[in-house]
Structure 1
């Protein structure tokens, strides 16, 4: 485990720390992943504490302790305001209620955890991309799968820059401008993100979502649906990390292990949101597709029991991460490879911290 990763096993409330950074920013804030709330992660100027537990009947002793620590980019707050203000001005939110939720749900915030060591001039670009993908994902939940595929098919050539957008359609011109800006900053690494983004978009409307899956098949599907390929490419883009095809193949087991962790952590915390979506949105776009329900049915256990078992499984994947990283570095040990693998670890930690704090999951009906 990297010396920058601090194991936090106590229930005491630690302060958020700053640590030296080798990137252009002066410091990166740490946020422990364990049960104790932390004092950082402000949302729209208001301090938000990580919940000490699941909603009742959970308590904090039922969440296994983690050895991971999430890092938060030092330019996060400035960037969050800048990007949120842009979308609040230009995006056609379906309702005032949805618009009021936008900043609170923290899509920019989670990006500042996902790419906590981003070069300063690339952080806002990453945030804009992740936000527009979240917004598109929410739109797809209200569509049939066929409608969603047609919607995405219109956007893909715009993302590539092969077609010009309709400037009267915000999703088109905003997406086009984001990708043009990404390419203007670093064309090579921006173009490397295209296919992972398209794989993510195809997974959102894959008919497999409507099938009854076992846990293994579900995790394989979710590797694309959770957008891990996008997040991995975003690590490389924001850090200007150039890995060869050989290095990416060596790192793939680490990436896949991380994808499982991201998927299941999201499933645990978003279960109530998914149930709400299944009840109120399109019967295909909002279909309930989650490891929590799958394991509960396969193992004949309650939803709460399924969450607890899955949480322990995530902690095992954290241990596997260390083993897989050692194996990868034994094959190819370069500065960019080390930086990439470490940032995958921060991505797991940051995803959990955000999942445990976002009203998107904790209060899906507010």
Structure 2
């Protein structure tokens, strides 16, 4: 049921960029042990970014890799925190990202976060600043207490669209590609279709992540009593709602993933979506979906359960 219909592509600078970004974090991030460092490198956060954004400009792909990498690392920290502590942790970082607050130079996450955002603004202040609010939406969703009580699939999908960071990925892709899609300059038809494509993509990203990370998330929920580790997955919601086993729920979800791919192709065929700028954006979203699936199926972050 999970046979792929799309081929993933990687950014041409994936190898050198991954090494440069990994080395920066290995030098400055407070990993607790050599094992943690090896686990970080094996996870391939820069590699998945290069799969998300194969069309990124060469001079911008490194910034995208650094931002997503630090957000992955922060996500791991939040798993061992209460929602209130995690919320306070993230709220300290948000004004630093905006440039409204100075980082503490003795706290790596703070000065590294500031350096990433200031570097992005130096490249393109408009498109970099457009990434801020989607990033904050994602960070707030990480510590959203409602995730403890989600039982319905529709409710879960609404929450997961924020938690998977789809709006963050779209805005970061536009920054990395130097592609300005201004919603106020789109016709109502174009805006509606772009919105439909983005929502469709968000579902694909979220459900593929949930299927592939199920064993890891289940193990984490059993290992930690903290709220940040509460099990919140489409696999569980589907299994509970439909009275299915976990394996059966996964098969149902994979079939939905393939239907969202077919829907993407249909939406992209609309005649008013064929100009170069919009067509490039839609192609970028397709690469995000195929790249995310490729990484999710192969990364030790999901496959190796401690």
Q: CA RMSD of the aligned region, Å?
A: 1.2
2:215 matched residue in structure 1: 272
TM-score under structure 2 normalisation?
Answer: 0.96
Matched, 1:66 2:11: no
1:237-268 residue CA offsets vs partner (Å, 9 max, x unmatched): 11100111144834111011011001110111
Matched, 1:363 2:298: no
Whole-angstrom distance in 2 between the partners of 1:130 and 1:111 = 7
Matched, 1:77 2:18: no
Whole-angstrom distance in 2 between the partners of 1:334 and 1:162 = 38
2:266 matched residue in structure 1: 323
Whole-angstrom distance in 2 between the partners of 1:133 and 1:308 = 30
Matched, 1:352 2:293: yes
Q: How far off its partner does 1:105 sit?
A: 0.5
Whole-angstrom distance in 1 between the partners of 2:159 and 2:32 = 29
What stretches of structure 1 of length at least 5 have no aligned partner? 1-62
Matched, 1:144 2:82: yes
TM-score under structure 1 normalisation?
Answer: 0.80
Whole-angstrom distance in 2 between the partners of 1:283 and 1:156 = 23
Whole-angstrom distance in 1 between the partners of 2:260 and 2:273 = 22
1:56-92 residue CA offsets vs partner (Å, 9 max, x unmatched): xxxxxxx343321110111100000000001001001
2:282 matched residue in structure 1: 341
Whole-angstrom distance in 1 between the partners of 2:254 and 2:155 = 19
Contact 2:220 2:229 in 1 (8 A): yes
Whole-angstrom distance in 2 between the partners of 1:103 and 1:120 = 22
SS in 2 for 1:121: coil
Higher normalized helix content (fraction of residues): 2
Contact 2:150 2:156 in 1 (8 A): no
Q: How far off its partner does 1:99 sit?
A: 1.8
Whole-angstrom distance in 2 between the partners of 1:253 and 1:114 = 19
**Pairing partner for 1:188 from 114, 117, 126:** 126
Contact 2:273 2:279 in 1 (8 A): no
> What is the count of residue pairs matched by the alignment?
301
SS in 1 for 2:269: helix
